[in-house]
Amino acid sequence: MDNSTKTTQNVVTMSDYQPHSGYASLAIVEAYWDALRAGREMPKRAEIDPRGIESALPYAFILERVAPGVARMRIAGSHLHDIMGMEARGMPLTSFFEQDARIRVAGLLEEVFQTPGTAEVSMHSAASLGQPALDARMILLPLKSDLGDVSRILGCIVSLGDLGAVPRRFDLRDISLRPLGNAQTTPPTVPREIAAKGFAEGQKAFRHQDGNDLKKRPPYLRLIVSDE
């Protein structure tokens, strides 16, 4: 994958993994990501080696955050090209979703980056002319860049069934966000009245160490007026 450091240490054997459903590639990618982080909050982008998820590569992708709520595909597997009916690399993740779902997807991306956390998404594409109903799932797993910021995502999208006419776009059915470490699932909300006034507190009189208000203490300087 792009500009990665390839070492045998980044290859985690998944030969003992026994898939139990059509969404096995999701579990393979997540298990690889979890093995790479080795107790850390998350692995680095440079540690990702395609050999570690070889059987899941057609469904895998890597996103780069380019703006709040916007992440473009730096790497995209062949299954993603099939879903879109064109080259998926360079596209924003929101391109895979119906218009009404894109704001929620943009918000989810920010939660994965900022919380940080992992996300699993259940998706559905309704049947239409030349397009049978289609179910899909997606996982989003945060990565650190070489600079140490959380601005990359290792992900996977798997759809089950005949794609029919492409491109296919999805609506959201269910989202599961799991924060890493002790991070909060969602940031605390700010009451409207506080947001309007800001976070400034009422000023209090300065008190000296002896407990007396500054205003009650004798002034250090006095103004002396002379009529001479």
pTM of the model: 0.73
Question: Where along the chain do its domains lie?
Answer: 8-179
- Counting every residue written for the chain, the total comes to 228
For 173-211, the pLDDT digits (tens) are 999 999 997 544 444 333 333 233 333 334 444 444 455
Structure tokens at 109: 């991306």
For 41-83, the pLDDT digits (tens) are 999 999 999 999 999 999 999 999 999 999 999 999 999 999 9
Q: What is the reported pLDDT for 181?
A: 77
Topology at the third CATH level for domain 8-179: Beta-Lactamase (3.30.450)
What's 161-226 look like in SS3? CCCCCCCCCEEEEEEEEEECCCCCCCCCCCCHHHHHHCCCCCCCCCECCCCCEHHHCCCCCCCCCC
Average predicted confidence (pLDDT) for the chain: 81
